[in-house]
Amino acid sequence: MEKCIIKDESLLLGFLYVRGVGETAAEAIVQARDRGGAFASLADVMQRTGLQREAVESLVTAGALDSKVPDRRTALWEVGLRYRPAGYQQPLPLPVEQDMPQLPQQSGWEVMVDEYHTLGLHPAGHLMARLRSSLDPGILSSQGISELADGTEVTVAGLVIRRQRPLAKAVFLTLEDEFGHVPLVVWPQVFFRYRRVIREPVLIVRGTVSRRDGTMNIVARHVVSARGARHLPKAKDWQ
C-alpha cells in the first residue's frame, strides 16, 4: 500500500502513486489478488475488484496492466465496453473482441504524456531527454551550467516542478531536466511581463548565473514556453 518501495535496487511505484487510485481502490485490488490469486486479464481485474472506471483507466495509462493487455489504447477501449455505472451489475469477463476496432498504436510521446498525467513522471526516461534534440544546441542542461561563473549569460530549459512566492519580492521556480534541477529567480518586473507563460509546464529561460554564499541560481530575463509540450499536465501550483 506504500506509495513507493525499493526492491532489488529498483524503485517500485505503489498503487497510491497512481492518480485516481485511492486507498479504497488499492485495498480492493490487494484483497482480490489475495483471495483469488494473480489476475488473468483486464476483464478479470474489473470483475474481481469492482473498481470505478477512472481508477481502471488510470491503472491502464500508468502501465500497471501492461502484462494483461495487448496495448494501452486497446485496453482503454475495452474498459469503455465493459464498464457499468455504479449500481449496475459488475462487468462479466465475456469476449468483446467482436466490438473492438483496429486502433493505431500510441506513439512514445503519447505514452509519456499519459504517464506524466497519471504518475507525474515517465519511468522510462525524462521529458527533456525526448525534447533535447529539438532544442537549440545553445540551450544548456543542469549538468552544463554547474561550473559556469557568476554573471555568465545562459539559456536553460526544463519541466517546472516548483513555483514558490515567499514573503520576499522575487518568485522562485525550479526546472527539472534529465540530469537534475535548475533553480530560477524571477524578479517582479520579469514575472509581470511573462506571468502567463510562467504557468506553462515546460519553459525555456534566458538569464544570468548568480552565485551567492555557496548557492547558484539563474536570474531570469526572458521566458518562453517549450513547443511540443503544451499537452502535459500543468506544473505544480504556487506554494
Does residue 115 sit in the same domain as residue 131? no
Does residue 32 sit in the same domain as residue 107? yes
Does residue 24 sit in the same domain as residue 84? yes
**Residue 237 forms part of a structural domain:** no
Does residue 25 sit in the same domain as residue 75? yes
Does residue 149 sit in the same domain as residue 221? yes
As a whole number, the mean pLDDT across the chain is 88
Does residue 9 sit in the same domain as residue 83? yes
Banded model confidence at residue 11, pLDDT cuts 50, 70, 90: confident
Residue-level pLDDT at 230: 55
Half-sphere exposure of 143 (CA within 13 A, CB side): 5
The answer for residues whose C-beta is within 8 angstroms of residue 60's C-beta and 6 or more apart is: 42, 69, 72, 75, 76, 79
Q: Dump pLDDT digits (tens) for 100-143.
A: 678 888 898 899 989 999 998 899 999 999 888 888 999 999 99
How do 215-225 and 4-7 pair as beta strands?
A: unpaired
Range of the domain at 176: 127-225
- pTM of model > 0.75: yes
Of the three residues 88, 119, 150, the one that is the final residue of a domain is 119
Does residue 9 sit in the same domain as residue 113? yes
Of the three residues 119, 148, 170, the one that is the final residue of a domain is 119
Of the three residues 100, 119, 138, the one that is the final residue of a domain is 119
CATH assignment of the domain containing 204: 2.40.50.140
**Residue 239 forms part of a structural domain:** no
CA distance 173 to 223: 12
Instruction: Name the percent of the chain in helix, strand, coil, to the closest 5.
Output: 35, 25, 40
Tally of domains in the chain: 2
Does residue 87 sit in the same domain as residue 137? no
Banded model confidence at residue 160, pLDDT cuts 50, 70, 90: very high
